[in-house]
Structure 1
Amino acid sequence: MTSALPETMTFIDLPSFGGPEALVPATGPLPKPGPEEVLVKVAAAGVNRPDVMQRQGNYNPPPGASPVPGLEIAGEVVALGAGVADLKTGDRVCALVGGGGYAEYCAAPGPQCLPVPEGLSLLEAAALPETYFTVWTNVFERGRLKAGETLLVHGGSSGIGTTAIQLARQFGARVFTTVGNAEKARACEALGAERAINYREEDYVAVVKELTGGAGVDLILDMVGGDYLPRDVEALAVEGRLVQIAFQKPSRIEFDFLPMMLKRLTLTGSTLRPRTVEQKAAIARQLREKVWPLLAAGAVRPVIFETFPLREAAKAHALMDSSRHIGKIMLDCG
Structure 2
Amino acid sequence: MKLKFRHRGRQFFFFTVCVNKRRPILSRLVDEKTRPVLTESGKKVLEMLRALHGLNSALTASDFVIMPDHVHFLLIVNYDADPIFNPLVFVHAFREETERMITTGGPPPRVLRNTPPAPGGGSGGRPPSFAPFWEPDFWMDLSLDSRQLRAIRTYIRNNPARAIWKRDHPDRFARHSGLRHRVLDPALPWSGYGDLTLLASPFLFPVRLTRRVPVAEQEAAIADAVEKAERGMIPVSGFLSPAEKEVEQRLRLSSHARWIKSVPHGLPPRFDPTVEDSRHLAAGRELILSSFPADVPTFPVSRMNCELMNARIIALCEAAKNGGSAPEPPIDS
- Tell me the TM-score range normalised by the shorter chain: under 0.3
Of structures 1 and 2, the one scoring higher in RCO (CA 8 A, sep 6+) is 1
- TM-score where L is the length of structure 2: 0.23
Q: Which has the higher strand share?
A: 1
- TM-score where L is the length of structure 1: 0.23
